[in-house]
Structure 1
Amino acid sequence: MDWRRYTPSPRAVDWGLFVAVATLLATGIGTIFVGTVAAAWVIDLHAVSGIVLVCLLPVKLWRVRHRVAPGRLTGARVLSVALAVDATGALVTGVWWLFGGSLDLGPWGLFHLHTALGLLVAPLLLAHLRYRVHSPATAMRHGRRDAIRYAGLVATGAVVWRLQGPVNDALDTAGADRRFTGSREEGSDAGNRFPVTSWVADDPDPVDPADWTLTVGGRVANGTAYDLADLPTGASGRALLDCTSGWYSEHDWQGVRVGDLLDAADPDDAAAWVQFRSVTGYRWSLPIEAARDALLATRVDGDVLSHGHGYPLRLVAPGRRGFQWVKWVESVRVTERREVGEWLAIFLSGV
């Protein structure tokens, strides 16, 4: 049987690889922000694109195998080999994670390695395209046949993605206990005994409650500063923390309802965002209506928050990923517009 009858033409394979990698990068970044089932299609698309890449990459490598013989290697081809190795590593670690694999890399693990390899694809691909880019028009010579073949690939990818769940269940792997985000359960209902992770470099000294205050200001009529003893605690709620490090944990949280702080501060008519700022300078904003339903927690499952989990106050924002749950909160600021600089602050705070 001639397997080439069932694969896209060479130029179509090249552009298919490009589209698959670009989709994987875009959806991979998008998964950082996916916290609700309604947005799960981003993760499904990421997985299906990965399966399509798994199908196309061997075809590409087989067709160019003669070019990477030791005597024919050039700088551009070494770069192409590096791209193929990195893409393969990202695929293998992703599949390994889905089926319950783990890897101890000190403060990092298998999920971090998968993310790092995936992000490395982008610069390698851009460098590769400097030497190997072709016009999309050259991939259209067998347009109808290639379109049918790609439709079959995407359909196969979708079926394989749906089958991995039952396979995990049947094999009873660690991958069976995952949320739609890919995260695995760890430390639920165990007080402070769930993973301590911080986005990028946030690692402040323990906060001295005697020197700490929470300020509420911005576009409000009644700016206020609260000592720890003055906080109107008593609110509670159950919420699931889904960390981009690959784990999730569900707890009962106790503390201050943000809506109560806003009611006391009396935001003006232009108020649209609420920014939560950490002692490290890390900050994140929520739309004001979403912020009203958030909690500034002082306790988890009845235990006083530990320093690693944000003592004396951390944001609890249901339906949002863990990096948006700001720790060590010292300021709540009501604004008309979202601060653009906070997108930079989350990468530089604590440095």
Structure 2
Amino acid sequence: MDYRRLTPSPRAVDWGLLVSVATLLATGVATMFTGTPATAWVVDLHAVAGVVLVVLLPMKLWRVRHRVTPDRLTAPRVLSVLLAVDATAALATGAWWIFGGTLDLGPWGLFHLHVGLGLLVPPLLLWHLRYRFHTPTRRTVGGRRNVVAYAGVLTAGALTWRVQQPINDLLGTAGADRRFTGSREDGSGDGNQFPVTSWVADDPDPVDPREWSLAVTGRVRTPSEYAADEVGPAASEDALLDCTSGWYSEHEWRGVRVGDLLDAADADEAAAWVQFRSVTGYRWSLPIEEAREALLATHVDDERLSHGHGFPLRLVAPDRRGFQWVKWVTEIRVSKRREVGEWLAIFVSGL
């Protein structure tokens, strides 16, 4: 039997690899914003693209194996080898995470390593394409053979992703206890005993409540300012914090409803966004109707928030990912338009 008929043509494999990597990068970034079950398809697509890459990469490596012998190595080929090693490591760490693996890298872990290796693939791939890019043609990537082969590869990828959860359940691995985002449970219902993480480099000195205040500014008729003892736990909400670092934790949060603060300040009817600003300069905005239902928490499970978790005040935004739950909030700014600069601020605020 000629097994080559069951596999895509060499050029179709190359383009399949490119599409898989592009899909992995796009969905990997998108998973940062997938907080509700309705967006779970993004994670599923990311996983299926990973399985497809697992299938295609060995085909590519087998075809070019004779080019990477020591006597035939050139600078571009060394770069190609690095790309193959990095892609393989990214796939391996992703699979290891799915099946419950862990790795202690100080402040980082296995999930961070997977993300880092994945982000290294695109620049290596672009440099590789500088030497190896071929324009696709109907003859090289089309045809019945390629269509049938890719239909099989995609089907196998989807089935593989679906059976991993029953396998995890059967084996009782840590990977069995994951949300649709891939995050694992850690510290639910146990006060401040859940992981302390900060986006990029946010690490301020502990806030002195005697010097801290919360300001409500922007498009409001009555700008307001509150001392620490004036922001009491008047409302509560059970909410799940799902961090992009790969863990989730569910708690009862107590604090003040943002809508009450906006009403007290008499927010302008033309206002559309509410921005939450940290003492570090970090900031994030929510649409005003969503912001009204959000909570500014002072307590978690009857414990006062610790410094690492945002004392004296942190945003609780259900169905949003952890990096959007702004910590050490010092200002609420109401506006008609969202500030474009906040996308830059979240990367440089801690610096």
**Gap change, CA 1:232 and 1:190, over 3 Å in 2:** closer
> Could you tell which deviates more after superposition, 135-144 or 226-235?
135-144
Q: What displacement does 1:66 show?
A: 0.3
Q: What displacement does 1:149 show?
A: 1.0
1:295 aligns with 2:295: yes
Q: Aligned residue for 1:224?
A: 224
Q: 1:314 is matched by which residue type in structure 2?
A: R
Q: What displacement does 1:2 show?
A: 3.0
Q: Aligned residue for 1:115?
A: 115
Q: Aligned residue for 1:182?
A: 182
Equivalent pair of 2:67/2:73 in contact (CA under 8 Å): yes
Distance 1:139 1:26 in 2: 28
Q: What displacement does 1:148 show?
A: 1.6
Distance 1:143 1:121 in 2: 29
Q: What displacement does 1:109 show?
A: 0.3
Q: 1:270 is matched by which residue type in structure 2?
A: A
Q: What displacement does 1:186 show?
A: 0.3
Q: 1:116 is matched by which residue type in structure 2?
A: G
Give the paired residue count: 351
Secondary structure of the residue that 1:255 maps to in structure 2? strand
Distance 1:320 1:66 in 2: 49
Distance 2:122 2:281 in 1: 29
Distance 2:270 2:81 in 1: 55
Q: What displacement does 1:347 show?
A: 0.5
Distance 2:285 2:133 in 1: 41
Q: Aligned residue for 1:144?
A: 144
Q: Aligned residue for 2:16?
A: 16
Q: Which runs of 5+ in 1 are unaligned?
A: none
Distance 2:317 2:141 in 1: 51
Q: What displacement does 1:29 show?
A: 0.5
Q: Aligned residue for 1:336?
A: 336
Secondary structure of the residue that 1:253 maps to in structure 2? strand
Q: Aligned residue for 2:99?
A: 99
Q: Aligned residue for 1:30?
A: 30
Q: What displacement does 1:138 show?
A: 6.0
Q: 2:97 is matched by which residue type in structure 1?
A: W
Q: What displacement does 1:140 show?
A: 4.0
Distance 2:192 2:231 in 1: 21
1:72 aligns with 2:75: no
- Counterparts of 1:119-268 in structure 2, within 5 Å, are 119-137=119-137, 140=140, 142-268=142-268
Q: What displacement does 1:142 show?
A: 4.2
1:279 aligns with 2:282: no
Q: What displacement does 1:139 show?
A: 5.7
Distance 2:2 2:105 in 1: 44
Residue deviations 1:197-241, cap 9 Å, x none? 000000000000000000001011111000011125310000000
Distance 2:256 2:76 in 1: 58
**Gap change, CA 1:126 and 1:138, over 3 Å in 2:** farther
Q: What displacement does 1:18 show?
A: 0.1
Distance 2:188 2:88 in 1: 34
**Gap change, CA 1:146 and 1:343, over 3 Å in 2:** same
**Gap change, CA 1:256 and 1:141, over 3 Å in 2:** closer
CA-atom RMSD in angstroms: 0.9
Q: What displacement does 1:143 show?
A: 2.2
Distance 1:202 1:344 in 2: 14
1:350 aligns with 2:350: yes
Equivalent pair of 1:313/1:327 in contact (CA under 8 Å): yes
